[in-house]
Amino acid sequence: MEPVIVTRGLTREYEGGVRALRGVDVSVDEGEFVAVTGPSGCGKSTLLNLLGGLDRPTSGEVEIGGRRVEALSEARWAHVRRDEIGFVFQFFNLIGNLSVADNVELPGLLAGLSPREVRARRAELLESLGIGEFADQSPTRLSGGQQQRVAIARALINRPRVLLADEPTGALDSASAREVMALLREAHDERGQTIVLVTHDARVAARADRVLAMRDGAVASETRLERGDKTAVARLMQLEV
Amino acid sequence: MRFPLLALLAEGPAHGYELKQAIEQRFGSVLPPLNTGQIYTTLSRLERDGLVDDDAVAQNGRPNKRVYRLTDAGRMELRGWVADATPAARMKDDFFMKLVLARAAGIADPLELIDRQRAAYLQALRELDDVTVADEVSALLVEGAALHLEADLKWLDLCEQRMGS
């Protein structure tokens, strides 16, 4: 497996000497689903922002698809973000006065895809995410869970090398959160989508293939998770009669 | 096993194998496979204590089938079980013992213990979330177990904050 994202010795210091990251080495393989967890202030969102070029490291390297990106100009980063990275945020960040369809199509058109191709991809994505019926509505009329699905469609329209998700279930009730996680897993299982997801929620992290636990700006531990089977359940429940 | 069997017999008389099937059907995949011998042992103890009684039913060419039914004393006993509140879960936590004592003895790094435990809880949570339970009873039980694991994971965070260094 080729790594899609690699970081080496990544640090981020803010003014006043606050060290948000103190040397992070991470490698994410193509098709992997990685969750980054940890208490607030551990540096997990800073890490995601550095991976997506929304922030710049103080030192260290970031590689995306084999290409060093940490020193790129903002204009070049904008191209990398548009072509290689899909973002999903906690509060959806949709454009309220555009329709659902236009929100999803916009990044595709900006990337120079033909309108016909963009329409086809948008229709297929909305359908597979179960929100095809809302294409012509404003996203502001939708529930949180539905809005997050629109945001996922928008993030996937350019078939990004990696999907970066920052607390994607943080603003949702538990039922919607589970639906959104099921859809992210589906994108991973069926499209082989590489995903890096930041969450403070253990239940959400447990859906990933690998969990990186951060502490004080560094990766403290790493856990590979195996799929469960039926016998595991009875063992876990320890229900006795 | 005593009270579940009494409760099943409250629905009507049944023989041992029917009781086994009934409880497996009620709790589906979340119940480990039942030991038939244990059911018969429990039934004979309940009979000895006067809580159930049995009638022998003749079968063609096979030994008599014993059909069990609740006695009045059994019904009283069952009513008491149902009426009492179940005690809250006790803090019986082997990990906490290990953490406190291994730390005091200086034989383990508390952070390593916490990380390993967190990995085990995450794996357990993953296995529960991968289960597709068809029936509502099993789904509720799985959800309950997941909520407990979430609490355990939060508690590990607290252990880390207060005892990690």
DSSP secondary structure letter of residue A12? E
> Pick from B23, B122, B145: which is nearest to A211 by CB?
B122
Count, residues in chain B: 165
The answer to whether A108 and A127 have CB atoms below 8 angstroms apart is: no
Cβ pair A237:B141 closer than 8 A: yes
User: Which residue segment(s) compose the domain that A152 sits in?
Assistant: 3-237
Cβ-Cβ contacts under 8 Å, A215 against chain B: 160
- pLDDT for residue B90: 65
Cβ pair B119:A221 closer than 8 A: yes
Convert the pLDDT of each residue in B96-140 to its tens digit: 999 999 999 999 999 899 999 999 999 999 988 887 777 788 888
Cβ pair B118:A213 closer than 8 A: yes
Q: How far is A155 from A82, CA to CA, in rounded Å?
A: 9
Cβ-Cβ contacts under 8 Å, A220 against chain B: 111, 115
- pLDDT for residue B165: 63
Cβ-Cβ contacts under 8 Å, A229 against chain B: 127, 130
- pLDDT for residue B88: 77
The alpha carbon of residue B61 is apart from the nearest alpha carbon of chain A, in Å, by: 33
Cβ-Cβ contacts under 8 Å, B30 against chain A: 233-234, 237, 239
pLDDT classification of B34: cutoffs 50, 70, 90? confident
pLDDT classification of A143: cutoffs 50, 70, 90? very high
Q: Domain locations in chain B?
A: 2-83, 94-163
- pLDDT for residue B40: 92
pLDDT classification of B26: cutoffs 50, 70, 90? confident
Task: Count Cβ–Cβ pairs < 8 Å, chain A vs chain B.
Answer: 89
Cβ pair A223:B123 closer than 8 A: yes
Cβ pair B123:A241 closer than 8 A: no
Q: Which residues have a Cβ under 8 Å from the Cβ of A20 and sit 6 or more positions away?
A: A12, A13, A14, A43, A46, A217
The answer to whether A62 and A238 have CB atoms below 8 angstroms apart is: no
> Pick from A203, A220, A233: which is nearest to B131 by CB?
A233
Q: How far is A57 from A49, CA to CA, in rounded Å?
A: 10
> Pick from B33, B122, B157: which is nearest to A223 by CB?
B122
> Pick from A203, A225, A234: which is nearest to B146 by CB?
A203
Which of A189, A199, A203, A235 has the most B C-beta neighbours within 10 Å, making it the best mutation to test the interface with B?
A203
CATH number assigned to the domain with residue range B2-83, chosen from the 4 options 3.90.45.10, 1.10.10.10, 3.40.50.300, 1.20.120.1770: 1.10.10.10
Convert the pLDDT of each residue in B45-99 to its tens digit: 999 999 999 988 888 888 888 999 999 999 999 999 999 998 877 666 889 999 9
Write the burial class of residue A73 (CB in 10 Å: 0-12 exposed, 13-18 middle, 19+ buried): exposed
Cβ pair B157:A39 closer than 8 A: yes
CB < 8 Å from B in window 185-204 of A: 202-203
Write the burial class of residue B83 (CB in 10 Å: 0-12 exposed, 13-18 middle, 19+ buried): exposed
Cβ pair A225:B145 closer than 8 A: no
Write the burial class of residue A97 (CB in 10 Å: 0-12 exposed, 13-18 middle, 19+ buried): exposed
Indicate the pairing of strand A33-37 with strand A194-198. Answer: parallel
Cβ-Cβ contacts under 8 Å, B153 against chain A: 202
Number of Cβ within 10 Å of residue B56's Cβ equals 10
The answer to whether B19 and B39 have CB atoms below 8 angstroms apart is: yes
Continuous segment of H or E residues that includes residue B70: strand B62-70
Cβ pair B29:A230 closer than 8 A: yes
Write the burial class of residue A139 (CB in 10 Å: 0-12 exposed, 13-18 middle, 19+ buried): buried
Residue B106 amino acid letter: G
Question: CA of A127: how far to CAs of A101, A116, A165, in Å?
Answer: 11, 17, 21
Convert the pLDDT of each residue in A58-99 to its tens digit: 999 999 999 999 999 999 999 999 999 999 999 999 999 999
Interface residue A151 vs chain B (CB under 8 A)? no
> Pick from A202, A207, A237: which is nearest to B145 by CB?
A237
- pLDDT for residue B5: 94
- pLDDT for residue A155: 95
> What chain A residue is nearest to B123 in terms of C-alpha separation?
A225
CATH number of the CATH domain containing A163: 3.40.50.300
Cβ-Cβ contacts under 8 Å, B119 against chain A: 211, 221, 223
SS3 A66: coil
Number of domains comprising chain A: 1
